[in-house]
């Protein structure tokens, strides 16, 4: 449904407003929006300040016009794409680093700054932003906060939310609030920071985040192990976690993904399940590598290679790094349905991966699985011939059954990409009706007119 | 105001209900309630199951009767003490460990279990609960969740909230909800876990918590450094944090506290500012100790002692460990006003400690300062002759000015003991009216009848 957005012309806002069809169209999809399913906004506003955001939201609230925050558009669940037109609030021009306090290991940034820019700036003081996802050079801090993103480093360093000290947030009615202080801990009142993190712009719009940084580890080593079977690889992962190997990254790539990666990068890796590892330490990194090898050896790896230096590590890791692109370009006749992730307790890691592979075989679809195995995380795509209606239907069924299985194993339908539109239907199965109702009450309390990113996270009432 | 609690007799609840005056009186105070200020409940209920809690809350909601959760009564801000009588919901008999899953590093516990019991049980599998406060043997997990407790280990391991995977919570109307899954990460919906943590029973009653555990560190070393001046000691602390020394505990004790501790324990420690340190590592702990000594050496410590073994460490740490008791028993003529804590950004650590000492001198009151310095945390008491009205007034003024200074330095009025009644007046100064209003809206959404622990956290409307 189209909305009257002419009120934007009368607002005292510095940022540009665009209604050009190209701009509207470019805000009608993210990486996870199937072709033709995106809804274009009626206008795109590019705020340049917290005040701009406040004025747009206050006016939209008064008029009941939906506002959907947007930035890089790299979400996988339609998180930043309107379902009911209205205003797309594109925060990509609010990309300043407002303050750096290296003595407090803190940096205040605007939401549109790219993750890699944060890390680069931190590096000038010998610091880094440990939870940065591997998509950090194409996605913004605001998007990472909106989905409570995680990544390869989560197994050691936690998620983005674990590295946030405070947020400046504009609520639906335009009120600007600060959700925390600059102290590293506080137990003063309700944790609004964590309430807003992962809420995908449905409770408020983040206009500034105080990030915690850390000193860069003095020692980094990394490499990979190739296993004969997926069972061996999954068991090695679980065993490493349960034995307390201190890994900074622990990634599994199944044989399907390995085949795609090898085709794409032309590496000499066998098309076999591979576990990529990285270790960070200030002391004794080699002892940790030895301990990991010992644990892996019980699962008979075909190879276990650790690089001598950073270039060597880059080479060993290339297949993992390029995987997202490799899957996309593997076979022009195959389209990936809903790339996304599920996450299960680590003790169920082998179960979920085996289940996915068995379903793929049973339903004759291609399902590459990979991901941040150390967290119990599985990224998977179901690849089908999009012109074959039966294949698409089988693919959708496989996709759904994997999500449901993850939930039934005590896991989650989405470990790090949020709910958006794509995972709404699973929220009640995962959390139960009482928790969903509590979320709905919180939503109504903070956004009574329902203008903020409607149609996301919460299932239809 | 007294409430009619006769409805409790008709409830199908397994747990005991008591209205004996001794029981009511014992629930009218916590460690932070000044004599004579506690309000006794009309009844104390000891639920034995989640169902019991649900039935009590549903009935109390129907009748608008306040319910104040209680357990060990060790809170410092009146958190668990009624302001308006009603029901005291004493969770101390719900103290079971419901499940342990060592392969997932997880344990499901009821809220009344003591912190030390959790740690002991984890130890049977070679695991531990890293954020356990030093009060772990006298306080419950439920209380730690209610206040988002931290402690000595927070500098390395974070707070209790960082080690929670999911909660089972009973809402005001009796609905039982689960706030998370058993996966270590999830971005499905709003973070109800973190919303409930630190909410002091004002949003719901926690009936089960899934805790994350970790492998015990293979190497532990510890000791202490004595400095000539408080400035030197504070600078050493700040410098250690800013240099990235990987400490597991980093505690400062000022000369006033040192004098009290020495009088109490009879140690040979000089009455001088002392920094206590502990290091945990799997490898290279001695290198980390050396690095710390190097950093400390720039601030001319009078001594730097590291123990050779655990017993030696216990001996070196004794003065710090016994400090709370030492302060209480220091001088029978002096009463501590409101023991509690503030926390500031680490770069302001010296500023807040110097400010507290200067105020103490100016106003002629005794102010021992100590605490988890590595977090920027300061615990302080203002000791005054309670029979001297002028001294009490000066003491109250000093107490208040230290809290306000912490807030003005970008810090928080309460790092780890919650708001309760004691810190309500500071919440708006710390977070601003917009954030307080947002908290109030969340409170109303989840507890529309306002029965859950009224009069806490949020300032008067």
- Contact flag B187-A414 (C-beta cutoff 8 Å): yes
Which of A188, A211, A294, A349 is the best residue to mutate to test the B interface, defined by the most B CB atoms within 10 Å of its own CB? Answer: A188
> Considering CB atoms only, which of B214, B246, B426 is closest to A282?
B246
Burial of A397 (0-12, 13-18, 19+ CB in 10 A): middle
Check pLDDT > 80 for residue A229: yes
Residue B407 has what pLDDT? Answer: 98
Taking CB atoms and an 8 Å limit, are B147 and A187 in contact across chains? Answer: yes
Return the pLDDT at B3.
97
Residue of A178, A198, A444 lying closest to B191 (CB–CB): A198
The alpha carbon of residue A200 is apart from the nearest alpha carbon of chain B, in Å, by 9
pLDDT value of position A109: 98
Of the pLDDT bands very low, low, confident and very high (cuts 50, 70, 90), residue B283 is confident
Does A182 contact B415 at a Cβ distance shorter than 8 Å? no
| Lookup: tokens for A232 | 């061996």
What pLDDT was estimated at residue A51?
Answer: 98
For residues B49-74, average pLDDT: 97
Partner residue facing B434 (CB), from A176, A413, A423: A176
Sorting pLDDT into bands at 50, 70 and 90, what band is B50?
very high
**Residues B321-345, mean pLDDT to the nearest whole number:** 90
The pLDDT value given to residue B436:
98
Which residues in chain B are contacts of A407 at CB distance < 8 A? 181
pLDDT, average across residues B96-112: 97
CA distance B459 to chain A (A): 10
In this predicted structure, the answer to whether residue B255 has a pLDDT above a threshold of 80 is yes
Minimum-distance CB partner of B190 among A177, A199, A406: A199
Whether the pLDDT of residue A136 is over 80: the answer is yes
Q: Tell me which of A197-206, B308-317, B444-453 is least confident.
A: B308-317
- Kindly report, residue by residue over A61-102, the tens digit of the pLDDT: 999 999 999 999 999 999 999 999 999 999 999 999 999 999
What domains are defined for chain B? 6-92 (3.30.43.10), 96-215 (3.30.465.10), 219-326 (3.30.70.2190), 331-408 (3.30.70.2740)
Mean pLDDT on B44-67 = 98
Confidence class for position B105, pLDDT limits 50, 70, 90: very high
The distance of B201 to chain A (nearest Cα, Å) reads 11
Instruction: Report pLDDT digits (tens) over A27-59.
Output: 999 988 877 788 999 999 999 999 999 999 999
Question: In degrees rounded to 5, what are phi and psi of residue B18?
Answer: -125, 140
pLDDT of residue B225: 97
Q: List the single residue in A161, A188, A446 with the smallest CB-CB distance to B430.
A: A188
Query: Is residue B307 very low, low, confident or very high in pLDDT (cuts 50, 70, 90)?
Result: very high
Over residues A379-409, the pLDDT tens digits come to 999 999 999 999 999 999 999 999 999 999 9
The verdict on a CB contact (< 8 Å) between B432 and A178 is yes
Give the rounded percent of residues in chain A with a pLDDT score beyond 70: 100
Closest-CA residue of A relative to B145 is A187
Confidence of residue B267 (pLDDT cuts 50, 70, 90): confident
Q: Give percent above pLDDT 70 in chain B.
A: 100
Confidence band for B328, pLDDT divided at 50, 70 and 90: confident
For residue range A294-304, list pLDDT tens digits in order.
999 999 999 99
Work out the mean pLDDT of chain B and round it to a whole number.
95
Mutate to test the interface with B, among A100, A156, A164, A185 (most CBs of B within 10 A): A185
Looking at the complex, report in whole angstroms how far the Cα of residue A262 sits from the nearest Cα belonging to chain B: 30
Query: With contacts defined as CB-CB under 8 Å, which chain A residues touch B287?
Result: 282-283
Q: Quick check: A125 pLDDT over 80?
A: yes
pLDDT of res. A265:
87
Beta-bridge mates of residue B164: B211
Average pLDDT over residues B204-219: 96
Q: Does the beta-carbon distance from B159 to A377 stay under 8 Å?
A: no
Whole-number pLDDT of residue B2? 94
Banded model confidence at residue A220, pLDDT cuts 50, 70, 90: very high
Cβ(B354)–Cβ(B230) below 8 Å: yes
| Confidence at residue A288, expressed as pLDDT on a 0 to 100 scale | 94
Task: Decide if A187 and B417 are in contact by the 8 Å CB cutoff.
Answer: yes
Closest residue in B to A200 (Cα–Cα): B189
Nearest Cβ partner for A438 among B192, B246, B377 = B192
Q: Do the chains contact at A186 and B458, CB–CB below 8 Å?
A: no
pLDDT value of position B32 = 84
- Does the ipTM exceed 0.85? yes
**How close B189 gets to chain A, by Cα (Å)?**
6
Q: What pLDDT is stored for residue B338 in this prediction?
A: 83
Identify all chain B residues contacting A159, using CB atoms and an 8 Å cutoff: 185
What would the 3-class secondary structure string for chain A be? CCCCCHHHHHCCCCCEEECCHHHHHHCCCCCCCCCCCCCCCCEEEECCCHHHHHHHHHHHHHHCCCEEEECCCCCCCCCCCCCCCCEEEEHHHCCCEEEEEHHHCEEEECCCCEHHHHHHHHHCCCEECCCCCHHHHCCEHHHHHHHCCCCCCHHHHCCHHHHEEEEEEECCCCCEEECCCCCCCCCCCCCHHHHHCCCCCCCCEEEEEEEECEECCCEEEEEEEECCCHHHHHHHHHHHHHCCCCCCEEEEECHHHHHHHHHHHCCCCCCCCEEEEEEEECCCHHHHHHHHHHHHHCCCCCEEEECCCHHHHHHHHHHHHCHHHHHHCCCCCCEEEEEEEEECCHHHHHHHHHHHHHHHHHHCCECCEEECHHHCEEEEEEEECCCCHHHHHHHHHHHHHHHHHHHHCCCECCCCCCCCCCCHHHHHHHHHHHHHHHHHHHHHHHCCCCCECCCCCCCCC
pLDDT at B294 over 80: yes
Residues in B touching A343 (Cβ below 8 Å)? 183-186
């Amino acid at each position: 449904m189209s909305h009257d957005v002419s009120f934007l012309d009368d607002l005292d806002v510095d940022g540009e407003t665009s209604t050009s069809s190209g701009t509207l169209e470019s805000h009608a999809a993210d990486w996870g929006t199937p072709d033709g399913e995106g809804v274009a906004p009626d206008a795109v506003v590019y705020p340049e300040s917290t005040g701009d955001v406040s004025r747009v939201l206050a006016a939209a609230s008064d008029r009941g016009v939906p506002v959907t925050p947007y930035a890089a558009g790299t979400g996988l669940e339609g998180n930043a794409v309107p379902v009911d037109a209205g205003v797309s609030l594109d925060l990509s021009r609010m990309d300043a680093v407002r303050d750096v306090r290296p003595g407090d290991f803190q940096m205040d940034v605007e939401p549109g700054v790219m993750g890699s820019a944060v890390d680069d700036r931190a590096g000038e003081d010998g610091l880094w932003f440990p939870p940065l996802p591997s998509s950090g050079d194409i996605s913004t801090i605001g998007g990472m906060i909106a989905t409570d993103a995680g990544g390869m480093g989560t197994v050691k360093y936690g998620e983005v939310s674990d590295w946030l000290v405070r947020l400046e947030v504009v609520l639906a009615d335009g009120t600007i609030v600060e959700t925390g202080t600059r102290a590293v801990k506080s137990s003063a009142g309700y944790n609004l920071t964590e309430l807003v993190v992962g809420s995908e712009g449905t409770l408020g719009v983040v206009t500034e985040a105080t990030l915690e940084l850390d000193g860069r580890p003095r020692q980094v080593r990394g490499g990979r192990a190739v296993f004969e079977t997926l069972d061996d690889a999954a068991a090695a992962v679980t065993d490493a976690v349960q034995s307390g190997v201190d890994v900074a990254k622990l990634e599994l790539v199944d044989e399907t993904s390995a085949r795609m990666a090898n085709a794409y990068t032309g590496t000499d890796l066998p098309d076999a399940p591979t576990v990529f590892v990285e270790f960070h330490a200030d002391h004794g990194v080699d002892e940790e590598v030895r301990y990991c090898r010992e644990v892996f050896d019980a699962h008979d790896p075909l190879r276990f290679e650790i690089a001598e230096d950073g270039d060597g590590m880059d080479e060993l890791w290339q297949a993992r790094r390029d995987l997202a692109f490799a899957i996309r370009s593997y076979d022009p006749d195959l389209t990936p349905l809903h790339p996304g992730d599920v996450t299960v307790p680590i003790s169920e890691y082998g179960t979920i991966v085996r289940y996915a592979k068995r379903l793929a075989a049973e339903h004759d679809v291609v399902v590459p699985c990979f991901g941040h195995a150390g967290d119990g995380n599985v990224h998977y795509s179901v690849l089908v011939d999009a012109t074959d209606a039966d294949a698409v239907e089988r693919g959708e069924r496989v996709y759904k059954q994997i999500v449901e299985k993850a939930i039934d194993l005590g896991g989650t339908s989405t470990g790090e990409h949020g709910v958006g539109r794509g995972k709404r239907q699973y929220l009640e199965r995962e959390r139960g009706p009482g928790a969903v109702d509590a979320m709905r009450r919180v939503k109504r309390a903070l956004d009574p007119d329902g203008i903020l990113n409607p149609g996301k996270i919460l299932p239809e009432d």
